[in-house]
Amino acid sequence: MAEPSTLLSPAPRSEAPREPPAAAAGRSSLGDTLRALELDTRLVGMIGALAIIWIGFDVLTGGAFLTPRNLWNLSVQAASVGVMATGMVLVIVTRNIDLSVGSILGFTGMMVGVLQSRFLPELWGFDHPLTWVVAVAAGIAVGGAVGALQGAIIAYLGVSSFIVTLGGLLVWRGAAWWVTTGQTVAPMDGLFKRLGGGFEGAIGAGPSWLIGVAAIVLAVAALLLTRRRRAGFGFPVRPVWAEAVVILLVAAAIVGSVLVVNAYPLPLPVVRRMVEAQGLSTDGPLPLIAHGFAIPVLIALAVGVAVTFLASRTRFGRYVFAIGGNPEAAELSGINTRRVLVMVFGLMGALCGLSACIATARLNAATNANGTLDELYVIAAAIIGGTSLAGGVGTIHGAMLGALVMQSLQSGMVLLGVDAPMQNIVVGIVLVAAVYIDTLYRKGVK
């Protein structure tokens, strides 16, 4: 080790972008504060944009947007696209694209539907407790196999991902039709249905608090552990007040979301049935029972955390970004770039399989048109979330926020009574505008 005093002293700020003195003086205290917090300015910007969209719609709809009910539904509707967007980030980071995700969702959705409503009941009868487990595992496995197959063609046969997945878009949509020659499969298994949300798919107030507290504990532990490791190596760490502010922000966000989902009560007929089922009288005033977190949203959040971990803390993730930054350099470093590509597309397919479960459960039916046009929403979510089509750049949380932005726009316009063609026009314009603003931001950062 070299002399710590020279190597590890705090970096001189001479490399910071030079600003005119007047502007620097006016902004320095705010700038210093933000720098000490080490927050991702891009993330802050996206959250700001989302806040503007939400408040804007709330004002326009006279307070109908920012209600627990609307936010709860919004998050459930964004879950399926959000899950796939996490995988799409990795695909686009490696300078590839996957146009087949909607069709893979349709195909695996049909497989999952047929499996649980035809094959498994023949094996062990209806409403077996393992049916949903087998169905989900099969969906993920089939999706993963389809994705890995496409990835192998891209990586080992050298056909461009645009073409392979454009072919896949047609192939898997056709295959979805062939599974039942176009017949819709319904209804789904009782337990499986919970994956789609709805009142059966909500976990209730108590478990929501439990998850909220667990999330806070884990987040704080992760922050403090990182701090201790960095301090152990003598690296600069955030000031204590900044660390406290970050912890408070994280905790406030988690508590806030628990409060929102717990403020959305189950509909009265449902509560009446639940009370009756317990053999109690329904004459008096019925109790208020909260929804709590929706299972599909929890799945999406778990996927987000898992893929973030994969992208930032494992060799696989490091290689994905290195390939995106400079494919030749990755190859020369001894990375098996082809294998990594197959794994990326395999993961993308597996996530489509999981999304297929969510979407099929939400519809309570497997249809061969399920997921049509999802590829465009998924790609748009990743791009709005800051993933660069040039490769090498992108974040998982950005893509999930992107999915939320897209869904917010759609829900808001539905509440406003905007007709469907106009909705598409607005979403299209927002996509282009978001990428333009992002381009300006990146130029500003350089």
Partner 1 sequence: MTEVSPTGAVPLVEMRDVSIAFGGIKAVDGVSIDLHAGEVVGLLGHNGAGKSTLIKILSGAYAADHGEIRVNGEPVHIASPRDAKRCGIETIYQTLALADNVDAAANIFLGREKLTAWGTLDDHAMEAEARAVMGRLNPHFRRFKEPVKALSGGQRQSVAIARAIHFDARVLIMDEPTAALGPAETRQVGELVKQLKQEGIGIFLISHDIHDVFDLADRIHVMKNGKLVGTAKVSEVTQDEVLGMIILGKCPPGAIPGPGAMT
Give, to the nearest 10 degrees, the angle between helix 68-93 and helix 337-363: 160
Between CA 100 and CA 354 the distance in angstroms is 15
First to last CA, the chain: 32
Instruction: Give the shortest CB-9-to-partner 1 separation in angstroms.
Output: 9
Judged by beta carbon, residue 183 or residue 326, the one nearer partner 1 is 326
Q: How far is the CB of 254 from partner 1 (least distance, A)?
A: 24
334 binds partner 1 (CB under 8 A): yes
Considering only residues 27, 118, 230, 272, which one is a binding residue for partner 1 as defined by CB under 8 A? 230
Under the criterion CB under 8 A, does residue 439 sit at the interface with partner 1?
no
Rounded Cα–Cα distance for residues 229 and 298 (Å): 30
| Biggest CA-to-CA distance, the chain | 79
Q: How far apart are CA 204 and CA 180, in angstroms?
A: 37
Tokens of 146: 């389809």
235 binds partner 1 (CB under 8 A): yes
Nearer to partner 1, 248 or 302 (CB): 302
Is residue 314 part of the contact set for partner 1 (CB under 8 A)? yes
The CB-of-330 to partner 1 minimum distance in angstroms stands at 6
| In the complex, least distance from residue 158 CB atom to partner 1, rounded to whole angstroms | 17
Question: Does the protein bind partner 1 through residue 322 (CB under 8 A)?
Answer: yes
Report, in angstroms and rounded to the nearest whole number, the Rg of the chain calculated over CA atoms. 24
| Token pair of 58 as six digits | 């709330």
By the rule CB under 8 A, 30 interacts with partner 1: no
Minimum distance of partner 1 from residue 1's CB (angstroms): 5
> Which of positions 392-411 make contact with partner 1 (CB under 8 A)?
392-393
Q: Which residue's CB is nearer to partner 1, number 128 or number 227?
A: 227
Q: Among residues 233 and 283, whose Cβ is nearest to partner 1?
A: 233
Please enumerate, as own/partner, the contacts of 328-337 that have beta carbons within 8 Å and a separation of 24 or more.
337/155
Of 2-10, 18-26, 157-165, 191-199: span binding partner 1 (CB under 8 A): 2-10
Q: How wide is the angle at C-alpha 310 spanned by C-alphas 8 and 78, nearest 5°? A: 120
Nearest one of 286, 289, 295 to 263, comparing CA atoms: 289
d(CA 431, CA 444): 20
Interface residues with partner 1 (CB under 8 A) are 1-3, 6-8, 11-12, 15, 229-230, 232-233, 235, 309, 312-315, 317-318, 321-322, 324-326, 328-335, 392-393, 446
